[in-house]
Structures are given as C-alpha cells and as structure tokens.
Amino acid sequence: MLQPWLTLRILRKQREAEDIFSFDLASRDGEALPSFDAGSHIDVKVAEGIVRQYSLCNSPDDRRLYRIAVLRTPDSAGGSRGLTERFEEGDLVEVGAPRNLFPLSASDGHSMLFAGGIGITPILCMAERLARTGKSFELHYAGRSRGRMAFLRSIDGGPLAGFSHVYCDDEPNQPRLDLAGLLSGHAPDTQLYVCGPTGFMSAVLDTAKGLGWPPEHLHREYFAAPAATQTGADTAFEVQVASTGARFLVPPERSVVSVLAEHGIEVNVSCEQGVCGTCLTRVLDGEPDHRDQVLTDSERSANDQFTPCCSRARTPVLVLDL
C-alpha cells in the first residue's frame, strides 16, 4: 500500500553552514504532528517523481514541527538543489510520516556518537535525547571546517558542550580524531552510532570491528549507498505475489520493483539504492540476495524481508507478502 502524505508549511528556512539549510515544517492548522523518536527520518516530495529522505533533528518532545537540514550538493539530481533553491518560508511541501531505521538502543550503557559532516542531523537528535534522559554518552563531530559544519552553536554553547568533541580538518593544531584510541577499552555494554560520508563511516566501523566490538552494538545510517561489492553477473529469478499466486520473471538487468510496477503492483520506493528502507517487503519463502544498507546482519540472516529496489534472490523464486 502506498504511504499517505502530509502537507506541511515551511515555517522557517535558515542557513546553518556553507551549503546547509534547515527547514522547520509544521501543519497548516497548527495541530500536533505524528510522533517520532531520535534517529527518525521523513520522506520529502521535492518534485514530481523526486522523493528524498531527511533525518529529523529537532526534539521528539516538540510535536509542533519537524526540523530537517539539507546539504546542497553540486551534483544533485534535483533533490537537495530543488529543496534549497526552490522552497521558501510559507511554501507547502508534502512529507511522509516519520520512520526509524536508526533507533537508540534500549540499553542503559554508554553511547558513543560519531558524526561526519551532514551526518550530524540524526546524531544531534540522539545526543539531545540522551542528555535529557540523563544517559551516559559522548559526541564526536568531524568536518572539513567550522564554516561547513551545521549546528555548532547548539553543540558548543548548549547543554551538549560538556559531552562533545569537534574535529576540523583545517585546524591542524587542535586534537585529531583518534578512532583507535577512542574505541579501545570500552565497557562491554557500550553502543556505537555513526552517520556521515561513506569513507568516514567505514573508518569508524572498520576500526570498531578490528577492536572486537560486537556487531549488534554497531549502529549506522547511510545517506548514500557504498560502492557495490558483489562479483559475477546477476541471474534471472521469479517473484511470486502471495495474495494472487501470480509469478513474474525478474531478468538480470531489471529490479524487482520495476517488474512489479510493470504488472500494476506498486511498492513504495524512494532512494532506489537500498539506503532508506522505504520499500522493505516481507519475504514468505525463498532466500534474498541482500544488497541494502538498511538491515542488520541478524535481520538479513532471518531472510524474512528485503529491499526490492536493489536486492535480488539466491533461490529461483521469492514469495512476497504482497
């Protein structure tokens, strides 16, 4: 079933750093918005056929608005440039209800938060939540320069100041981000959260894995899919729609989503890279070939859901709960 859309008004648009703008979105009648938790994101309809995901970076306790921050990139395909250049205060924008694929753990242990560049958006919300609830945490925020890092005033001068460490590439006399030192000797119940550019995330996660961190304690959210690592040519397989029994061939050059759409079966999609989780679909039989960045290792092992926008099949047939 396709998701319903909320029509919200842009209350405020503000430049937070070089090429980064925040948007405060609220209902047209002032009513409370659907609730969300730290780590949540929303789909934003930037133009017809262009939907992008943005993390919510305001407090979940404030039901009056959703705040997102958008990095304008020169190679934008219409998402970030469309939102930052065409939308102004007072304009209406359609968004989906909040979804959370990057939640805080229920553990009472220490949390280590790592943000690179625009990856601060979900991490900031997490840090503020942990601070308000009195949980133990530390925030490490890295960027090219202070002029390109959003929300520094909130981090340096607010209640997060005593928990935060900022690292800038253009400040050679300041402490550097020492991942091996930071990630060594942690308590067994420590949780790690990371978001940012792919290279930054890989450095954090690879260091943690090399130091023996349990996979279930490593939490990450990608904004773009890393380079594909699968080898060999894709092969054809079939998908079966459980509700009707209909079967459709998925050739090597087609995605499951595109084949289903061709036969009138719509699946919610957005990024089409396996990053956002919009298209997650239950698998009733068969083994998926997971190629997403959404599911954890344990969720992949269960083989009871997959992302049909990019993932394929290891068995001749996948039976889908559609």
Tens of pLDDT along the chain (322 residues)?
456 899 999 999 999 999 999 999 999 998 999 999 999 999 999 988 788 889 999 999 999 999 999 998 876 666 788 889 899 999 999 999 999 989 999 888 999 999 999 999 999 999 999 999 999 999 999 999 999 999 998 898 888 989 999 999 988 888 899 999 999 988 999 999 999 998 999 999 999 999 999 999 999 998 766 655 554 578 999 999 999 999 999 999 999 999 999 999 988 877 777 877 888 999 999 999 999 878 878 888 899 999 999 999 999 999 999 9
**Domain 111-221 belongs to what topology?**
Rossmann fold (3.40.50)
| CATH 3.40.50.80 residue window(s) in the chain | 111-221
> Strand, coil or helix: what is 217?
helix
Handedness of CA 288, 292, 295, 300 (dihedral sign): positive
- Cβ(21)–Cβ(79) below 8 Å: no
Q: How high is the pLDDT of residue 21?
A: 96
| CATH 3.10.20.30 residue window(s) in the chain | 237-320
Q: Where are the alpha helices (DSSP H) in 221-316?
A: 256-262, 297-302
Q: How high is the pLDDT of residue 185?
A: 84
**Domain 237-320 belongs to what topology?**
Ubiquitin-like (UB roll) (3.10.20)
Q: Classify domain 6-95 at the CATH class level.
A: mainly beta
Q: How high is the pLDDT of residue 109?
A: 92
Q: Which long-range contacts (CB under 8 A, 24 or more apart) does 251-256 make?
A: 255/308, 255/309, 255/310, 256/308, 256/309, 256/311, 256/312, 256/318
| CATH 2.40.30.10 residue window(s) in the chain | 6-95
Q: Return the structure tokens found at 280.
A: 């997650």
Tell me which residue has tokens 């954890």.
296
Rounded distance, CA 306 to CA 237, Å?
15
- What pTM value is reported for the model? 0.79
Q: How high is the pLDDT of residue 273?
A: 78
What H or E segment, with its residue span, contains residue 6? Answer: strand 6-17
Rounded distance, CA 162 to CA 165, Å?
9
